[in-house]
Amino acid sequence: MTDASAAIEATDLVKTYRSKEGDVDAVRGVSLTVAHGEIFGFLGPNGAGKSTTVRMLTTLLTITAGSARVAGVEVIDDPDGVRRRIGVALQEAGLDLRQSGRELLTLQCRLFGMSAAEAADRTQELLELVELTEAAERRIQGYSGGMKRRLDLASALVNRPDILFLDEPTTGLDPASRLVIWDEVRRINAQGTTVFLTTQYLEEADQLCGRLAIIDDGRIVSEGTPAALKSQLAARLGPGADPSLDDVFLDATGRTRERVAGEVQEVQA
């Protein structure tokens, strides 16, 4: 049954890639619901199906089977309607390094049909939101990695989306820049935007997400609040156990700390 109150609802999503060697199921029946206004985390090792799921939800990949509604719109039936209601910031920031930060955001605003005056006002709002006003006239080529990620966030917010999809937004950033991005995500969410966050950093999910799902081998293997998932594992492990989200992940995916090294990382803030 469709949940009309949900920001995102996916039911039995499947993505199959066909090749000469045979079919490969990258996503094998993912079902999830994200409430309006929450920060929802999507965890998993490389190749687990995180990015494939996000690309289906954001219309960047076709859905092989199953269904999804995003911001109240059926993804399969009305992909353009979905695109008008979402913002997407992928792992690799799509920025023209020759432009200034202000020029890039102004162009994005104009592409969404804003007048020159509207574009100027919205650009200034976004620069203030991500605290880039002092660097607004500088070429993006001279921005730090953290500044580029913040500008990419601003670009994804141009159309005032109902839902913001962030695909590993802090990958490759130093710890200080990572904390700045966390603050920006919280600020964006506080303004009413639902955030769907994929990440490989367990500390990031623990700090930001009200709920999360762990995906492995194309299937969701665990879901709940970080506190509840840790509490459930503690109850199973017995008296004195104080598991971290690392331990929850390892337990849910059947991985060892040696196997998981380089796939999912914990960041000490």
pLDDT in tens, 48-107: 899 899 999 999 999 999 999 999 999 999 999 999 999 998 866 678 889 999 999 999
Select the more confidently predicted residue: 147 or 93. 147
Query: What is the residue whose two structure tokens read 């650009």?
Result: 123
pLDDT of residue 267: 37
Pairing between strand 219-224 and 211-216?
Answer: antiparallel
| φ/ψ of residue 9, rounded to 5 | -140, 120
User: pTM for this one?
Assistant: 0.85
**Angle between the 226-237 and 245-253 helix axes, to the nearest 10 degrees?**
70
So where are the chain's domains? 6-260
Least confident span in 52-66, 101-115, 121-135, 170-184 = 170-184
Query: What is the residue whose two structure tokens read 């920060």?
Result: 39
| Confidence bin at 3 (pLDDT 50/70/90) | low
Query: What is the residue whose two structure tokens read 């802090």?
Result: 170
Does the domain made of 6-260 have the CATH classification 3.40.50.300? yes
Selection from 164, 197, 177 nearest residue 42 by Cα: 197
| Confidence bin at 7 (pLDDT 50/70/90) | very high
